[in-house]
Amino acid sequence: MNLARLSERIFELDGGHKAFDFGAFEIRSAFQPVYAINNNAGMLYGVEALARPIYKGTPIEPLDFFARLPARDRFIADWACLYLHLSNTAAWQLGNTTLFVNLLPGSCVFTDEMLTGLDRFAGMVREQGLKPQNLVFEITEQEGGDKQALQTVTDKLRALDFRMAIDDFGVGSSDLMRVVALKPDIVKIDAGWFRRMMEGEDTRQFAHQIIIKLHEIGAHLLFEGVETPRELHWARECAGSLIQGWLFGKATHMEGATRAAAVDMPASQGIQKKRA
């Protein structure tokens, strides 16, 4: 597939939603709300676009979908998702609402095509009436890979006025120094990691030291996978400014994801007293 012609494979479903024809697979979009933490309320900050692959009529996990593909096809699928999500966003007047999209770190090794594709994509974003600075590319920080290619792509994102987030910080071989070197605008803290770190006093103190360093580089902290008031309390304790998770909304269509401009933030007084 040619990157410049990927939009030709997008087709419309019932209800105005769109999907991507990826051979034996069909890819659809889902969107999950992201809220800014503001005292006792959360204000809608943005939505994360998520791929929902389907194989012969049966939904499959995105990780399974990408794992089945050779490197070149994963690169094409990565871009197919970007085109599709932007197309599914076009009908909604997002204004200053931020759109989060995912970029596989392995796609960066196709550096020349990535750079050309990003130039083209920036033009498409503007044509849709969106501001590049309101679009955040999420990239998973990981050990190995082509660090120079990753740096080249992240530099290009900034040159085009896009923002960049490190996704799944705390998973696997996440390394603080590699994150610091990339200077992301946002760091998404993995739910499993901060649950484990906040349960014990020693690990809690260690987590706070890491959080302090992330704040020092000017990164906003987005706590993802938040499902309970206790986890919300931990996010607040770590000075998280953004929140995402089932406590506030599951992934759904764009209309559902953006319906609540504000949500109540469960009180944490009881949780604090319990620890006292």
Kindly list the averaged pLDDT for each block of 10 residues, start to end, along the chain of length 276: 88 90 96 89 94 95 94 96 93 82 94 96 92 94 77 96 92 76 91 82 84 90 91 85 93 91 74 38
How many domains, in total, are found in the chain?
1
1 domain residue, yes or no? no
Please check whether residue 169 lies inside any domain of the structure: yes
CATH classification of the domain holding 264: 3.20.20.450
* CA nearest to 94, candidates 27, 161, 34: 34
Helix axes 71-89, 111-127, angle to 10 degrees: 10
Distance set, CA 225 to CA 86, 131, 244 (Å): 24, 27, 6
Question: Quick check: helix, strand or coil at residue 230?
Answer: helix
On whether residue 10 sits in a domain, the answer given is: no
Which pLDDT value is given to residue 272? Answer: 43
Contact 210, 239 (CB under 8 A): no
Please check whether residue 167 is in contact with residue 188, taking contact to mean a CB–CB distance below 8 angstroms: yes
**Side-chain half-sphere CA neighbours of 69 within 13 A:** 21
Domain for residue 205, yes or no?
A: yes
Please give the pLDDT value at position 223: 93
Asked if the structure places residue 246 within a domain, the reply is yes
Q: What's the pTM?
A: 0.92
What was the pLDDT predicted at 246? 93
Query: Nearest-CA neighbor of 216 among 257, 183, 256?
Result: 183
3 lies in a domain?
A: no
Residue 190 lies in a domain: yes
Within a domain: residue 98?
yes
Give residue 191's Cα distance to chain centre.
14
CA neighbor of 235 nearest in space, from 193, 175, 184, 172: 193
Q: Identify the domain containing residue 230 by its residue range.
A: 28-49+94-275
Cβ count near 21 (within 10 Å): 13
Measured distance CA(31)–CA(45) in Å, rounded: 13
